[in-house]
Structure 1
Amino acid sequence: MPDDDILIAVFKTHAGAHDAVRTLEAEGFPLARLSIVGRGVHSEEHPVGFVTADSRIESWGKTGALWGSLGGLLVGAALVTVPGVGPVLAAGPIAQVIATALAGGAVGGGASALGAAFGSLGLSHGHVVRYEAEIKADQYLVIAHMAAEDADIARRVLRRLNVAFEAA
């Protein structure tokens, strides 16, 4: 999916991101092409999770209620600790991109696993820095990995939800 167009919307709350995913699904956007990334694990928690391309979120420690609702929707999950940011949860295709960045040694030159994953999606350095800062500020990203036929759906839904988004 890294060759597809990417559309990214930033949400202040997990509930807002969750609602956007549900609305996109109801409008016919393929769930297999949606990702969500955000924090949600605090240092006193002990997250438990795993990542595979075809698995769903099983458990995220005490955050199960927060992320579990998306676990039934989005395929693939990853938990990474980003220096300076802390634990970051990802669900959807971005989880596999993060796992590939880690496994392939794409992390280097000061880049975090998250930054390397964003970079592999074709995001500019400025976008990588911005979106890492959004996550650090406890925002949530919904990423639509768009095939041409999906782009109109994603744009229409996000406009109707009055959510700012940008193609990257």
Structure 2
Amino acid sequence: MNYLVAVLPDRIQAEAAYSALEKEGLPMNKVSILGRGYKSADEFGLIDPNEQAKKQSKLMAYWLIPFGFFAGIAFNITTGLDTFAWAGPIGNYLIAGLLGAASGAMGSVFAGGGVGLALGSGDALPYRNRLNAGKYLIVVKASETITRQATRILRQFEPENIQGYVDSEGV
């Protein structure tokens, strides 16, 4: 499946482009307008980078927190540190484990959240920003032949940006 995304500056141009695609006989169930009064980014399925970052952070926390706990205990045992003399040996192991778990939690937030925010969005974030700025997107989700035909038609409207994508899940 191929995608074609064209960014148009206003609603009038978006509707004119949509009408031109309709006149050329493109299957209109494959064409969507995103913007105010039409589908939102969430309704269409553009990934929200903040949601992806939260998911990635939680996923990493499931294994980093327990790993940090046991790594903290192992570090305390191997070094023989008696940092908190009042806690005794078992208390020192538990405190080291809790500090290791806290380090694992911080790692999941910084690494998981940061990586999810930086890499999880792809081109979705620029498109979301354009929608938030009042622009409109025409999205054609169809075969290569139809997206090529749509590209030819949409170029007449001089979009701010026009980009084609190939769905990698089908490959």
TM (norm. structure 2) is 0.49
The answer to which structure has the higher strand fraction is 1
Which structure has more relative contact order (CA 8 Å, sep 6+)? It is 2
TM (norm. structure 1) is 0.49
